[in-house]
Structure 1
């Protein structure tokens, strides 16, 4: 295919990017990582342009933040209008109606046939922190159960909830107390010769035994679960597992928190990924794509649960900023007008079809999986042993960047390429990006043999 959209004019980093990169290393700490050694100049839809004139197809979407696309006209217009009126008053000082309107719309969209209330915050981690606070306050219990492989943030509590050590937790202890980790199904890496159904039953038995060996259910305030584990490589649990965990929560008076920070707002083909499992969470945390790049997050929950906290116990200076709320309202309009949930399904079908072709061609692909437009390739050294190939994964991403495609690494073993392209991507851009990814695998394999 002749490239129409990806134009890399100079090796990365280019001269302007190199100068900025040197300055970056002088002033930004090493702990703040970067995936692409260049700097953006402009972005629109699913395309990025850097300071040296290179153009990239974006399969990363700012780690799942740009479902509605970069600088969508409707979002830009809403921000310009809001900035001309007022930028911030502090919702707990003088309130503003975009907060109320956005909360009303999210409460109506979220799964659950019960009355809901919504509060806004700044980041995904802060949303999860507050969901834990709300759960503990309502239940008058302390223990929280998350899952192995899960990622919930980098603050003390959310780092404690996270089920992967490096790079998120290593040498950052001690962690928050009364946090426990239950097993989560990773079907590709299930023990042989178990089939998926037997594996699910085995894990569910472990979860039930968890209440005997780890923590009594009477002490547990909440379980927190990602509908699809993001940082761990798009690990998709089956419906039976999710529903049984939910049933256990109901049985013991435990709240069920759905971390929809990466899966929400159309990524899996629905507003909320938990809709795939026919589960009605007590609390839902949201962020990332809810405002097309503006820093805002939220907790959506049962009215009686959300009202368990007393006045002044929840909130923060910038929580639910007017700009974030206006951007969020614009995103919901875009999602409805452009049918982005349906578009995510179409994108996912195209990606998975191409992944199937790649799987047949490259025996270094151990598994490919996806839910809607949340799709991933897992690289291994050998399909029989399933030994992860981190080095090849990194080289594939490097080769992709040099050809004008930006994508992300993930996985418990850092051996997964995950795709989070904007849902407004055109068919032509999507096809070209997938062709580049295939070329990158080819080139990485050649490089590995040298």
Structure 2
């Protein structure tokens, strides 16, 4: 494929070989998988894919945000090969190995937060999310979690609960949690309150504090989980002051702020972590996807005192932290890390509490806890009965669709204030262990909160001694142009979770937190069988190198992407909103600019049309009306523009 520089379609789509393989798929693979294409890929390099019939495509889907460093980066491949020859698996807690601790060391170094951090390396984004929430609850001794609408945090039981979108993620799975509360994200284009930013005063943020008075007490809220930009929810970008506002709420009530960087992190928005755009330091950050150039690995990074709070054996995994994935992540981080801004130090006081706060539209995983934290119902939670008595949920700073009908910044971050209000009527701040949040909500629609929202969340956590968990699984690892999305906000989380891009596709993830948090459990309180596999760890290390080295390029292509998308928005009324940070960008399609009626069928048709022209794209958002762009961060400008040309050509055909 090295000689190929552009798409090449040589057969009908799908081709004959793909059609034959699709017959096997229909015979042997569960129909529950949400398949977007019937083409079968054979080889991939950089930003190009070649299917089994010889057709070549530009990859705008990026393995659902895992290929920030590009497909098969040579340095990652070489590192993985060497690791495979040495060690594949032992189970880190059984017999430890070096690359696991090296990756943990690197994650603590690159994630926002000058406080002492510790890490748990696992396999997937949802595992990083689930562990972030578990840590926040155990450490604070609070039950309630707040998540956001339009969020996507995974497909496990807890992941579905946190995820907002009902269909297809949750329908029929009964994934509800008694201790989960949900609020609107700062979706300004579709404001839930019918307001306009900034005159709304961040109404969606204030709703969280209001909820503390009528839904769950702040004292019972352990964490707020939010994506810095909602990914699956529609690449929803909150106002810049929304995340700071979320940080403020967490600081005030001692709630853990969890920044889900799984899709928006690892340079995706032009910063290593999307939350850096907002100057917020989450308590916990989750990373995955692009952290290791496609190797399956993820991580939860948080304040040490949070990370160490569980008893020995309280955390665990079989494949988590695979040596190959870890080494890939390390290499990827090296690539992404260049030119990363230094995180600012923000102190947080944590107490033993049960409540976790998460957000509407959030997605934090597919385990039981992951489902509880996740906001979107279908397909993530329906039928799984994933409920948590100690989870509270508030609207995310989804300014485009404000839950309060307000406009940012006149709203005064209403959605953030709602958390503190909720401490009076829902859960007490004194019982709130953590707030978990994605710096950009991924599955919820790439929802980007205002830059001051995450800092506001940090402030709340600081004020009330709540652990701030930053879920960087989708937004982290350079996805937004910073290593971790939360860096956009200048916030230091207490715990950070990472996965997805951490090891270039190897199954590995991590929970990184302050040392006092990470070390708080008794010996054996945390553990895993496959977690931190040598193969996954080495893959993650190599992937991190790639992402670090290409961070400046990621920022550059981010400018190009947003310029082109804005130009399209001016020409085509079907584009209601353009949002994102850096190369983590999205288009929300609507049938009417005034009513903002979701153009879901048109979006589906656009994806199909793009594929036939040689461009792979993905839908997300509560209404499946958002086209998210997750190009490999190493893509060349020429190829990027060819892909954007195809996107525009396809857009013309479907309207």
Whole-Å separation in 2 of the counterparts to 1:180 and 1:154 = 18
- Name the CA distance, whole Å, in 2 between partners of 1:305 and 1:429: 44
Q: Conserved in 2, the CA contact under 8 Å of 1:185 and 1:200?
A: no
3-state SS of 1:397 partner: helix
- Change in Cα spacing, 1:194 to 1:143, as seen in structure 2 (3 Å) is closer
Match in the other structure for 1:311: 312
C-alpha contact 1:397 1:408 (8 A) present in aligned 2: yes
Matches within 5 A, 1:48-197: 48-190=49-191, 194-197=195-198
Q: Which runs of 5+ in 1 are unaligned?
A: 446-450
Greater RCO (CA < 8 Å, at least 6 residues apart)? 2
Q: Please give the per-residue CA displacement for 1:113-160, whole angstroms capped at 9, x wherever unaligned.
A: 201011101111111111111111100111111111111111111111
SS at match of 1:432: helix
* Alpha-carbon distance, 1:333 to partner: 2.3
Confirm or deny: 8 A CA contact 2:58 2:643 kept in the other structure.
yes
**Per-residue Cα deviation, 1:209-258 (whole angstroms, up to 9, x for no partner):** 11011101111111111111111111111232211221111111111111
Query: Where do 1:30-429 residues align within 5 Å?
Result: 30-190=31-191, 194-335=195-336, 336=338, 339-429=549-639
Give the CA deviation at 1:360.
2.4
Alpha-carbon distance change, 191 to 64 in structure 1, aligned in 2, over 3 angstroms:
closer
Specify every segment of 5 or more residues in structure 2 that has no aligned partner in the other structure, as ranges.
339-544
Do the aligned partners of 2:158 and 2:175 also contact (CA within 8 Å) in 1? Answer: no
> Using a 3 Å threshold, how does the CA distance of structure 1 residues 174 and 320 change in structure 2: closer, same or farther?
closer
SS of residue in 1 equivalent to 2:200: helix
When residues 207 and 45 of structure 1 are mapped into structure 2, their CA distance, relative to the original with a 3 A threshold, is same
Preserved contact between residue 224 and residue 258 of structure 1 (Cα < 8 Å): yes
Deviation per residue, 1:87-117 (Å, 9 max, x gap): 1011011110001111111101111120101
Contact 2:152 2:232 in 1 (8 A): yes
Per the normalisation by structure 2, the TM-score is: 0.66
Secondary structure of the residue aligned to 1:282 is: strand
Runs of 4 or more off by more than 4 Å in structure 1? none
1:242 to 1:192, Cα distance in 2 relative to 1, 3 A: closer
Asked if the contact 2:7–2:58 (Cα under 8 Å) also holds between the matched residues in 1, the reply is: yes
Farther-moved stretch of structure 1 (312-321 vs 377-386):
377-386
Displacement of 1:30 in angstroms is: 0.6
Greater Cα radius of gyration, structure 1 or 2: 1
Tell me: CA distance 1:173–1:324, structure 2 relative to 1, closer, same or farther (3 Å).
Answer: same
Report the aligned-residue RMSD.
Answer: 1.5
Change (3 A) 1:200 1:7: farther
Question: Aligned pair in 2 of structure 1 residues 174, 363: CA closer, same or farther (>3 Å)?
Answer: closer
Task: Output one character per residue of 1:37-84: Cα deviation in whole Å (capped at 9) or x when no partner.
Answer: 110110000000000000000000011000001000001000100000
User: What is the number of residues matched between the two proteins?
Assistant: 443
- CA distance 1:383–1:183, shift in 2 (3 Å): closer
Does the 8 Å contact 1:74/1:334 carry over to 2? no
In structure 1, what is the Cα distance between the partners aligned to 2:201 and 2:123? Answer: 36
1:309 deviation in Å?
A: 1.4
Contact in 2 for aligned 1:348/1:370 (Cα 8 Å): no
The match for 1:433 among 631, 643, 648 is: 643
Question: How far apart in 2 are the matches of 1:387 and 1:153?
Answer: 26
Paired residues of 2:285 and 2:300 also in contact (CA < 8 A): yes
**TM-score scaled to structure 1, two decimals?**
0.95
1:240-282 per-residue CA deviation (whole Å, 9 max, x = no partner) reads 2211221111111111111111111110111111111111111
Cα distance change on mapping 1:191 and 1:252 into 2, 3 Å = closer
User: Do the aligned partners of 1:200 and 1:241 also contact (CA within 8 Å) in 2?
Assistant: no
Three-state SS of the structure 1 residue aligned to 2:49 is: strand
CA contact (8 A) 1:375 1:420 kept: yes
Specify whether residues 398 and 160 from structure 1 end up closer, same or farther in structure 2 by C-alpha distance, changes over 3 A only: same
